[in-house]
Structure 1
Amino acid sequence: MEIDMQTPDVLMGLAFGIPASAGDEVGQENGHRWDPMDCDQKARTALRMECDFSYLPDHDEDAHFCHARAGVVGVADGVGGCRGDGVDAAEFSRGLMANAYNAVAAASSSGICPYTLLEMAYQKTVAWAYVGDSTFAVFRGGRLLLRALPQQHYFNCPFQLRAVGGDRVQDAALGEFPVEEGDVVVAGTDGLFDNVFDAKLEGIVQTCTALRLTPGKMAEAIGRLAYDMARSSRESPFSAASREHQGTNFTGGKMDDITVVVAYIVT
């Protein structure tokens, strides 16, 4: 894909996979910062992933992929702020996810380092990748176990990579967390996490799990909740953060593309 090297910041993304080992825990509490170069691959367990997605477009600039065999999913959020500069953020986010998916599909080994994957996709797509605002959460027994925190310089200003200057691929947060059979992983762009509080997300995961819904049906339910919240006047994570960091009186959700990827960890 040919992309003008002068195009400004146009992408934020996330990739994750089943950890290489279900042994000692490497990741710790929410917000723990790992060394992005520490990505050695240990012996893998027999865990695998069943995954599906829901996508509710606003400006239609998100992209994603699910590769269940390799145990890897990715989401990318095109930066809408570049729209006024004539930049097609959707073209870039889709290109990045296509490159990442192709690399996963062509990999001869099942041990894939998310950091290496992001670096490769960044290089092949020629320009920019955001490494912090699209996040994920892990649930065990219906309870929130781990919530990755967004990387932001300040409110609503996420880390971004550029052809010249900006943040670096090496700034990407990276770590391992030992999943178990029955765990549920929910990944999404900020269209999800800006509109749905963790407690509400936990509740809908519990309900969908109790109903034995498929990953796709759970993703649809979570996506619909985020969609409704984005259009409501109720308190949202984005409005709460806006008041806290900017002193605004804003309430309600944030209109945006909403991508939700749900993965069930199975044997």
Structure 2
Amino acid sequence: MASHALMCRLLPNVSVSKVSSVFALGMNNVPLFRGSASHGVFSMSSAGVSFPVPCFLGGAAATYGSAASARPLHALLSGASTFSSSAASSASPGDEAAAAVYEVAIRTGDRRGAGTPCGAEIELFGMDARDSSGPHVVGTEKGFVTGGCDAFDVHSPTDLGDSPARLRLRRLEAGSSDLGAGWYVYDVLVVRRGGRRGMRYHIDGWLGESDSGGVKGEDERLVTGVTVEDVKSAMDATRLTRNSLSDSEINALAKYPVLLYAGAAVLPHPEKLETGGAGAKAAISRTFGNGGEDSFFIARGGMNGGATALGVADGVFAWRDQGIDAGEYSRGLMRAALQAAESADTHPRPDALQLMSCAAKGVSDLKLQGSSTCCIVSVCNRNGILKSANLGDSGFIVLRPSLDGTVFEVKNRSVHMEHEFGRPYQLGHHDHGDKPEDAHFEQAALRPGDVLVLGSDGLYDNLSDEDIADLITKTAGTTANKTNSTAAWSHALASSCARVLASHAFEASVNKTADTPYSRAATEFFDMVYSGGKRDDITVVVALAANPPKMNE
């Protein structure tokens, strides 16, 4: 795992972004320490991770003379006098000509590459009128940062009412190269100055091409807003990803009983094999395995021994500098999750988030030290409902055969959770570790013929989702659609797919000229052209969804 926030402890007056620039790409595998050295992009609550709240949602706001004036997040959170309540009493030149002043908060997602160096155009529409001075250009100086919330004032000569009905948001072009310019916008909140009731425009998607996931969206969105009685409360609402389905949607789709046949492959970082140490070499069984600081589990149960839960964890190697084996921490997480899944005598069995909580408690009870990302997926054999909890840059994708059955296509994808590039969310023994409730929770519906791929960042840093889909198509071919095949054949195919993915991820990791998800994300974050893969432990778990031979649970 890569992280460089340890430098923040050595340079307490330098922001994480500055540390990133100073140490460039040389700082790999460093533990995550959040706290005073962080620039405060996230706040913590019992409901999970929430976006920072701009000052206008908690009190008076500053005003500026331009039609759309920016209030950077770092300034909003720093308590600078420019943004004090006294500043709000000073009228800006734009106020005199404005029929209304609207305060706008644009929230950028927290997945890898979500930020953009580009600015944006924003335009507001009322029920019967539009802002005649728009569109307004914002964010041109610094762009929008991953996980950030950027606030702007829009001075409109047209009174659009307290709640503008629609909003148009357009990402500006990057120039000669669009690499790194894709922008993942979560939502936009608008409130008339001095009010509480406002509008929320839900986007939750890419504007332009994603930097590392192979997803491309339109550069412009026209969105109809939803009224929120208290805009500040809306900032703290629990977030689901675009691909996550609501309970009602899940119940409508959950009509396919499935049986999962799973296999795994682990390739430790080559240098760890040379230096040795506990867990350095790969060790795999039908239900548990590890290599380097990576670990996985496969909980078998349900109908005729089909897998009901799977997980991957990636420990932070750099704890070794403090005499701590983070591999022991990740192995402890997966063992605890496995034990919780297999020993549960309740029905329904624990879901992914409950298993993650059990795993975190397990390593805490054992007083294990270190930190680790964690991705756990649980599947109900009776109806195919998949529930996942993901914390960090490990993750999963769901592949489904195309309508003509010739190729596999990406159906669902977990969120790549980072505080910023190289600083993934992670469970840990230290005070600044993330918690299970900070995990991204998703649910989807599987059907026979689907392929579920879990992996550590060693997989997803080096292979795109499209690479993975192509390799599964070539390896499994149309045979993956033989959903009534024997258990032995299905297990063998799953294991073969896992080995192929791990092998290709390794080849990309040592290729210095490869175009990889990691190199694309690094190019954006460091504002320099970077190529090649990332050498790391690689763990892959592949599960094939098949028709169950009979219902006996």
Structure 2 length-normalised TM: 0.41
Matches within 5 A, 1:160-199: 160-163=426-429, 164-199=431-466
Match of 1:77 among 307, 310, 314: 314
Match of 2:473 in 1: 206
Q: Does 1:255 align with 2:526?
A: no
Runs (5+) with no aligned partner, structure 1: 1-7, 11-28
Match of 2:363 among 114, 125, 148: 125
SS across alignment from 2:463: coil
Report the residue type matching 2:326 in the other structure: A
Q: 2: CA distance between counterparts of 1:33 and 1:220?
A: 34
Match of 1:137 in 2: 397
Runs (5+) with no aligned partner, structure 2: 1-29, 33-203, 207-237, 273-291, 302-306, 374-390, 402-407, 480-491, 548-553
Q: 1: CA distance between counterparts of 2:471 and 2:445?
A: 23
- Give the superposition deviation at 1:129: 4.6
Match of 2:418 among 137, 140, 152: 152
Report the residue type matching 1:47 in the other structure: V
Larger gyration radius, structure 1 or structure 2: 2
Q: 1: CA distance between counterparts of 2:325 and 2:296?
A: 16
Change (3 A) 1:162 1:210: closer
- Give the superposition deviation at 1:166: 3.5
Is the Cα–Cα contact under 8 Å of residues 132 and 173 in structure 1 kept in the other structure?
no
- Give the superposition deviation at 1:33: 3.9
- Give the superposition deviation at 1:83: 2.6
CA deviations 1:122-149 (Å, max 9, x no partner) are 0110165531210100000011111112
Match of 1:89 in 2: 326
Is the Cα–Cα contact under 8 Å of residues 516 and 533 in structure 2 kept in the other structure?
yes
**Comparing 210-219 and 193-202, the one that deviates more:** 210-219
Q: 2: CA distance between counterparts of 1:97 and 1:162?
A: 14
Match of 1:19 in 2: none
Report the residue type matching 1:115 in the other structure: L
Change (3 A) 1:226 1:203: same
**Comparing 43-52 and 223-232, the one that deviates more:** 43-52
> Which structure would you say has the larger RCO, counting Cα contacts within 8 Å and 6 or more residues apart?
1
Report the residue type matching 2:311 in the other structure: G
Q: Does 1:56 align with 2:293?
A: no
Match of 2:525 in 1: 245
Report the residue type matching 1:57 in the other structure: P
Change (3 A) 1:33 1:188: farther
Report the residue type matching 1:51 in the other structure: A
Is the Cα–Cα contact under 8 Å of residues 51 and 68 in structure 1 kept in the other structure?
no
- Bigger strand share: 2
Match of 1:68 among 272, 295, 300: 300
SS across alignment from 1:111: coil
Match of 1:34 in 2: 240
Q: 2: CA distance between counterparts of 1:250 and 1:86?
A: 32
SS across alignment from 1:112: coil
Q: Aligned pairs, how many?
A: 242
Q: 1: CA distance between counterparts of 2:457 and 2:314?
A: 8
Q: 2: CA distance between counterparts of 1:95 and 1:44?
A: 35
Change (3 A) 1:73 1:157: same
Q: Does 1:103 align with 2:314?
A: no
Q: 2: CA distance between counterparts of 1:147 and 1:30?
A: 13
Q: 2: CA distance between counterparts of 1:188 and 1:114?
A: 16
**Comparing 69-78 and 250-259, the one that deviates more:** 69-78
Q: 2: CA distance between counterparts of 1:219 and 1:211?
A: 17
Report the residue type matching 1:81 in the other structure: A
- Give the superposition deviation at 1:266: 1.2
Change (3 A) 1:184 1:30: farther
Match of 1:112 in 2: 350
Q: 2: CA distance between counterparts of 1:229 and 1:110?
A: 41
**Comparing 209-218 and 253-262, the one that deviates more:** 209-218
Structure 1 length-normalised TM: 0.82
Is the Cα–Cα contact under 8 Å of residues 48 and 68 in structure 1 kept in the other structure?
no
Match of 2:515 among 222, 231, 235: 235
Q: 2: CA distance between counterparts of 1:259 and 1:57?
A: 8
Report the residue type matching 2:544 in the other structure: Y
- Give the superposition deviation at 1:72: 0.7
Is the Cα–Cα contact under 8 Å of residues 9 and 162 in structure 1 kept in the other structure?
no
Change (3 A) 1:105 1:192: same
Change (3 A) 1:121 1:44: farther
**Comparing 183-192 and 44-53, the one that deviates more:** 44-53
Is the Cα–Cα contact under 8 Å of residues 397 and 414 in structure 2 kept in the other structure?
yes
Match of 2:505 in 1: 226
